[in-house]
Amino acid sequence: MKIFPSKIGLELVIPIGLLFLGISYKMYLDEIWLGLGVMLLTSIFLGYLFTSIKYGIDTSDLHIYGCFGTHKKIPIKDIIKISETNNPISSAAASMDRLEIYYNKYDSVLVSPKDKEEFITKLLKQNAELILFTRKNN
């Protein structure tokens, strides 16, 4: 099975990081040590969330792995199309540079593999009938 880590987008990390730094600095100045501890634990948790997302492609399925052992399996033969998107809806994607994968009749999932080209190529090798939409031809 080929594993693709999720791309971690600075457009998500920088605003969250600046917010946490600002709040933590204020708590430090006000000597709110419990609050600083909570901010540290929350930061560690968010880091875990961002780094635990990955995608696997084996001979017949696309596997989406999230935090806490979540796992979704989509048969590659059921994938209808792949489209590039910046849709901000919550998903197993740690970047806004995303792919929307449509499968079955009405289902879709958002992913953000670090190497989108290799990811798409691997899926196309196993299902040459799926349709690929890029931002240029949307």
Distance in angstroms (rounded) separating the CA atoms of residues 12 and 17: 9
Region 7-23: what's the mean pLDDT? 92
Distance in angstroms (rounded) separating the CA atoms of residues 33 and 55: 38
What pLDDT score does 138 carry?
46
- Asked whether residue 132 carries a pLDDT value surpassing 80, the answer given is no
What pLDDT score does 129 carry?
80
Check residue 6 and report its DSSP letter: B
- Asked whether residue 76 carries a pLDDT value surpassing 90, the answer given is yes
Region 93-120: what's the mean pLDDT? 91
Total domains in the chain come to: 1
Beta strands per DSSP E along the chain: 2-5, 54-57, 61-65, 71-75, 79-85, 98-103, 107-111, 131-133
What pLDDT score does 134 carry?
67
Q: Dihedral, CA atoms, 46, 12, 124, 129, nearest 10 degrees?
A: 110
What pLDDT score does 137 carry?
47
Region 29-58: what's the mean pLDDT? 93
| Closest among 48, 109, 45 to 74, alpha carbons compared | 109
Region 34-56: what's the mean pLDDT? 93
The domain containing residue 25 runs over which residues?
A: 1-138
CATH code where residue 129 lies: 2.30.29.30
Of 65 and 127, more confident: 65
- Asked whether residue 104 carries a pLDDT value surpassing 60, the answer given is yes
